[in-house]
Structure 1
Amino acid sequence: MKTLISLVIGLITSLTVSGQSVTASGPDGNLKVNVSVKQGIPVYSVTYKNKTILEDSPLGFVANVGDFSRDMTFTGQKENKIDKTYTQDRIKQSQIHYRANELTCTLANKEKKNIHVVFRISNNDIAFRYEMPKYGDTGSIVIEKETTGFDFPSFTTTFLCPQSDAMIGWKRTKPSYEEEYKADAPMNVRSAYGHGYTFPCLFHVGENGWALISETGVDSKYCASHLSDATAEGLYTIAFPMPEENNGNGTTTPGLALPGSTPWRTITVGENLKPIVETTIPWDVVEPLYPTEHTYKMGRGTWSWILWQDGSINFEDQKKYVDLAAAMGYEYVLIDNWWDTNIGRARMKDFIDYANSKNVDVFLWYSSSGYWNDIVQGPTNYMDNPIVRKKEMKWLHSLGVKGIKVDFFGGDKQETMRLYEAILSDADDNGLMVIFHGCTIPRGWERMYPNYVGSEAVLASENLIFQQHFCDEEAFNACLHPFIRNTIGCMEFGGTFLNKRLNRNNDGGSIRKTTDVFELATAVLFQNPIQNFALAPNNLTDAPQVCLDFMKQVPTTWDETKFIDGYPGKYVILARRHADKWYITGINAQKEPLKLKLNLPMCGIGDQVMLYQDDKKRNPHAEEITLKKEGEVTLTIQPEGGVILVK
């Protein structure tokens, strides 16, 4: 990694200062932030190509050491330019060049205590945070409330996931970022539970453009946040966790040592959706927290639980899924809950030896453990206690286990963030990768933690099994995730079903409404470096061979991602590159066939391309075609269907 941060002498051309106001812009001058103090209230506003994205929005916080939200004075500013390149193997792009202008505004409260508000502004992204010095002998601070806000114009519509009540749902495990979105909703509608909305949050600011709000860089030093409901004027503010989360354990207000800083809040802006889908801001402003001596191998896996459920967690059924992984050329098998009881700890070495004999490695499931929910699925009470956890992870390492899936967290408090970090750190000491389930979204974690490989934090594949309603809505939801949840971090969805009926025997349960090509397309659309697909042993004989052939060669890591076309909840066309091969995929959630003329810059005249699409009977069909025009392709995507071009 090469990092260059150069100090600019004097005022940079993108900065203007007037009294209690300063304006800075990104390198190309289109994205601008104005920071000012009005009647003692610090505020900022955002424009893109001179069109309003955010009106005056409050800055600041109230802490146990003072109020930094009012009676403030603008006391100074300084500027940096940031030019940074880095490599990342587990996100949407492998080689990243981040250029931004940095503006630091110093504000003082009436007790003359300072805070610094640091803005980093690139061509389409803003990241900002608060930095606090040490105040005399005071060595720590508790942030009691943030007044940080996002004030959108009244005509803005929203694509938001509500924050649920705490301690509801399966065994009182919520919130877990699994509620249903509403598309193009007005801002003045109260959220489903009255607690606001989980990050990330997508806003359509009419003809002015689009904005995605989220946060990154959250570790053990802060809580995770979300957005409040909007006021009548369209103002959303940062909201801390609810007291009831995690069964009331832990504080809702973060505490940190001084000097210290808050996480980065991020705003991605564009006149269209391309910057939203392609942003790398969650990783641009964070750094690795610890080195690793291990080399972690990304890849694909099978898991029995998604279709065969709890009854499949036994030695013989798991061997069938190892055999499936071997037949598909997959690297992993994931054994879900109850393995400690139904297979037994004493037999795990025999099972892992069997898997390894087939060139398959093993992930094992754990509960995050126990005093904040009612979970009985084992193993429980191993991950929350550092003494027990370290002993368990040492045992897993001795067996050759490659990773763990840890489930049922149910909260965003700082105490819970400490648990995520502790699990990751201890796991890396033992060469274990970590997937989180029933959890919060990642916040820059792919870059911060070398062994982090995915989080659920979405209405994922298990819901398709539980209720027909979610199968009916599968295409709609899948057309949201590339624009919202998956654009800010790994999404461990666990999908790509080839069963027509979602049960063990492919003859009952929920009815899948999507086509096979739709399901293949989501293997590319949904980005996660470890993909546990919802294939089943019966698919080796009852699924179309064209589908099996595609799923045998689809990668899980990407060197480049390009947005081609789409609208959240309706359709999406996305291109991802692995090495020198492009996968251009599309899905359609609408009730009518979708005809599109696409401009594909990665394609040229005479290119040979493999085309996967649905025929008139909605069956998968593949053929090699030759492109006749420079970068131009005309396609039809069936309702709840898909299309894939491989070049």
Structure 2
Amino acid sequence: MKHLFLLSVALFAAMGADAADVDVKSPDGKLVVSVSDDGGMPGYKVSYDGTVMLERSALGLKTDIADFTSGLIIDKSDESKIDKKYEITRTKTSAVHYTANQLDVVFKKDDGKKMKVTFCVSDNDVAYRYTLLPIEGSDYRCAVVYSEASSFNFPGKTTTFICPQIGPMTGWMRTKPSYEEDYTADAPMNVKSAFGHGYTFPCLFRIGNDGWALVSETGVDAGYCGSHLSDYAEGKGYTVAFPDKGENNGFGSACAAVTVPGSTPWRTITLGKTLKPIVETTVPFDVVEPKYEASTDYKPGRYTWSWLLWQDNSINYDDQVAFIDLAANMGYEYVLVDAGWDVNIGRDRVAELSRYAQSKGVSLLFWYNSNGAANDAPQTPRNCMNTAVARDREMKWLKSIGAKGIKVDFFGGDKQETMRLYEDILSDANRYGLQVIFHGCTIPRGWERMYPNYVGSEAVLASENLYFTQRHCDLEGFELTMHPFSRNAIGSMDWGGVIMKHRLGRGTDAGNYRRTTDVFEMATAITNQASVQCIAVQPDNIAELPQFEKDFLKAVPTAWNETHFVDGYPTKYVVMARRHGNDWYVGGLNGTDKPMTINISLPMFAGQKVKLYTDNKKKKGEDIASSALKTVKVDSKGMLKVTMQPLGGMVITK
């Protein structure tokens, strides 16, 4: 019995040693990730500035090689430093210096099978991924990942700003999921998702008064599926969930096939006491690398778009000429020609239209249906982007007529099969000098850095919905003060329009009523980020806009060298500053129905006179407050008091 007792003590001591946490800190020491194998279960926890931000959360993969979610011990760990600089032209900043500490932890099962988890920890970001390692004496060279145990177990005081994942083959023409559902604000974690499928990335969390966290993923390519979060489970938190098997019309696996050795995409967590690190994060791009070189110098710019408010009947030669002329008069680079151009205009006349646009200094972008067989969307051109042979033929023709890009719509979900299609379209388009916008689609996951001709994705309840229903006009303030903290924080967002009409239809007296002011809309050109952005001016009301509004819309850039969060709260208001070259642009939105007076810090303008685009108080009988351009002085400390009217905004420039 004595020997048995001593053996038990020895085993207990050994297990305790194996279960010891392995820590990695951020370069500034405030962010700490602790990794452990308690009870054979791999897990991690995260603290920031001494406060627990994530309680112990699960790690692991279930694969056809082994179950790497239990029965594991830490075999070894190694720490190293990351210090790299890179340039990027299509997102919130142009030059990044990424410094982080990296921890590689190898977990081992009793039979010797191993899984590595890599953590990269910078001052406000955690990124981690899994690597399946070769097995000694085995012929394993590939694997199937059935599921992930990866979880995010926030403290109970946490509230959420998240968007539900909808079920497959739902919505109009069975085109969903397409990341176009309604956000909820400041909701408790234990509320079930609206459709029972969890939540789409990115997910924003307020951890009581201790700070904020943004959870997402990056680095998803043809080698893995896209993911989302499950519903909340008490004691476990939210778990990474794979696509529904019904997505993409049931075609393709809902699992992921990987090589061995091979790595998964990165799970990312951005943390801070304030929202500043959330808005300014570059982690989606920091941990990925370019997959190919750009075949040409892809140009940022503005585009006009007839379909947004004039709809299908505008896809004719004469209306497109009107929008080309408007783009030329405004100094815009592009016009987007939407669905049905191949039928309504015809390919020969489209080539003629492209020549006309080029004579005006404007280039055309063309809409395409991604189908295929993913859903029932009937719009044409169809069956041009779903196979390599069709893409090669179509893109060669697009290059021959001088087209500069494509907008591809109606994808089928997040399966690996669909991720291959995204990558194939991007790669093939690059060979022909075409930049790509995705619509009716998933979120980008580091794609601005991975694919140099990638522009942006919709993946949001976007501007077209203002045309479709008055409800979304009424909610525009709520929605556009949400996205800088979530959807647009992780990647370029093709919201689809700085809408400068009060009635959202053809002519000036038809359609839903816009609730936001002109200056609110102008400010969205700054708060919404995409390197090729729609400025939705229209031929039927451009003459009615005040000259100072038109002058601003002619000059506003879409490519930024720096982005700074100034002030805000999700779904209430936001103020952001962006730099283009030597010029700063500050945009502010008030998403509420009450006036809002705030003191903002603008050190870049300290002691200087600046232009302030603002709203007058709404007069009796006015539907929308009128706008004004004033000159004001920022004090020597860089502070300025401003008032934003209900559903109004502000813009500050030199």
Whether 1:60 and 2:60 are equivalent positions in the alignment is: yes
Q: Is the 8 A contact 2:498 2:534 kept in 1?
A: no
Q: Once the two structures are superposed, what CA deviation does each residue of 1:467-490 show, in whole Å capped at 9, x if it has no partner?
A: 000000000000000000000000
Q: Name the structure 2 match of 1:211.
A: 213
Identify the match of residue 374 of structure 2 among 372, 394, 402. Answer: 372
SS in 2 for 1:566: strand
Alpha-carbon displacement from aligned partner over 1:513-534 (angstroms, at most 9, x marks no partner): 0000000000110000000222
Deviations 1:560-602 (A, max 9, x none): 0000111001011111110011111111112211011111121
Partner of 1:110: 110
8 Å contact kept, 1:153–1:234: no
Distance 1:76 1:563 in 2: 40
- Structure 2 equivalent of residue 614 of structure 1: 615
Shift of 1:18: 8.0
Partners of 1:413 and 1:636 in 2: how far apart?
46
Instruction: Check 1:18–1:133 CA distance in 2 against 1; reply closer, same or farther (3 A cut).
Output: closer
Partner of 1:146: 148
Structure 1: how far apart are the matches of 2:267 and 2:103?
Answer: 15
Shift of 1:506: 2.1
The residue matched to 1:327 in structure 2 has which SS?
A: helix
Counterparts of 1:643 and 1:19, CA distance in 2: 54
In the alignment, the residues of structure 1 paired with residue 508 and residue 441 of structure 2 have an alpha-carbon distance, to the nearest angstrom, of 30
SS class of match (2:269): strand
Identity of aligned residues (%): 54
The alpha carbon displacement at 1:499 in A equals 0.8
Please tell me whether residue 384 in structure 1 is matched to residue 348 in structure 2.
no
Judge conservation of contact 2:507–2:541 (CA < 8 Å) in 1.
no
Q: Distance in 2 between matches of 1:540 and 1:492?
A: 22
| Cα contact 2:19–2:37 (8 A) shared by 1 | no
Partner in structure 1 of residue 639 of structure 2: 632
- Residue type at the aligned position of 1:546: F
| Partner SS for 2:425 | helix
Q: CA deviation at 1:388?
A: 1.1
2:171 matched residue in structure 1 = 169
> SS at 2:86's partner residue?
strand
Unaligned segments of structure 2, at least 5 residues:
1-16, 619-624
Give the distance between the partners of 2:169 and 2:536, measured in 1 at CA: 29
Q: Contact conserved, 2:86 with 2:95, CA < 8 A, in 1?
A: yes
Please name the residue that 2:24 is paired with. 24
For the residues of structure 2 that align with 1:576 and 1:539, how far apart are their CA atoms?
A: 29
Is the 8 Å Cα contact of residues 217 and 445 (structure 1) preserved in structure 2? yes
Contact 1:486 1:526 survives alignment (8 Å): yes
Matched, 1:646 2:653: yes
Q: CA deviation at 1:330?
A: 0.1
Q: How many angstroms apart in 1 are the aligned matches of 2:216 and 2:516?
A: 30
Q: Which residue of 2 aligns with 1:442?
A: 444
Shift of 1:624: 2.2
C-alpha separation in 2, matches of 1:302 and 1:111: 61
The residue that corresponds to 1:85 in the other structure is 85
Conservation of the 8 A alpha-carbon contact between 2:23 and 2:33: yes
Q: In the alignment, which residue of structure 2 is the partner of 1:101?
A: 101
C-alpha distance in 1 between matches for 2:360 and 2:21: 65
* AA partner of residue 79 (structure 2): E
Partners in 1 of 2:575 and 2:374 — Cα distance? 41
Contact 1:200 1:214 in 2 (8 A): yes
8 Å contact kept, 2:19–2:73: no
Match 2:470 to one of 452, 468, 471? 468
**Aligned residue in 1 for 2:521:** 519
CA distance in 2 between counterparts of 1:502 and 1:114 reads 58
CA contact (8 A) 2:162 2:183 kept: yes
User: Is structure 2 residue 630 aligned with structure 1 residue 623?
Assistant: yes
Cα deviation, 1:55-89, whole Å, max 9, x if unaligned, reads 00000011000010000011110011000101111
Deviates more, 1:474-483 or 1:538-547: 538-547
Match of 2:11 in 1: none
* Structure 1 moving runs of 4+ over 6 Å: none
1:184-207 C-alpha deviation (Å, 9 max, x unpaired): 000000000010000000000012
State the Cα distance separating 1:630 from its structure 2 match: 2.0
Superimposed CA distance per residue, residues 342-386 of structure 1 (whole angstroms, 9 cap, x where no aligned partner)? 000121211001101110000000000131111111000010011
Counterpart of 1:625, as a letter, is V
> Higher mean Cα deviation, 276-285 or 526-535?
526-535
Report what 1:9 is aligned to: none
What SS does the corresponding residue of 1:250 show, helix, strand or coil?
coil
Alpha-carbon distance, 1:234 to partner: 5.6
- Give the SS at the match of 1:384: coil
Q: Is the 8 A contact 1:563 1:573 kept in 2?
A: yes
Q: Tell me the TM-score normalised to structure 2 length.
A: 0.95
Q: Distance in 1 between matches of 2:20 and 2:141?
A: 30
The equivalent of 2:3 in structure 1 is: none
> What is the match of residue 411 of structure 2?
409
**Unmatched runs of 5 consecutive residues or more in structure 1:** 1-16
Aligned in 2, Cα 1:189/1:19: closer, same or farther, shift over 3 Å? closer
Aligned-partner Cα distance in 2 for 1:578–1:325: 21
Letter paired with 1:334 = L
**Alignment: residue pair count:** 630
- CA deviation map 1:441-474 (0-9, x unaligned): 0000000001001100000000000000000000
1:593 corresponds, among 595, 606, 617, to: 595
Matched, 1:260 2:262: yes
Does residue 350 in structure 1 map to residue 352 in structure 2?
Answer: yes
Q: Write the distance in 1 (CA, Å) between the matches of 2:128 and 2:19.
A: 21
CA contact (8 A) 1:546 1:620 kept: no
Q: Distance in 2 between matches of 1:42 and 1:535?
A: 54
| Match in the other structure for 1:291 | 293
State which drifts further: 130-139 or 283-292: 130-139
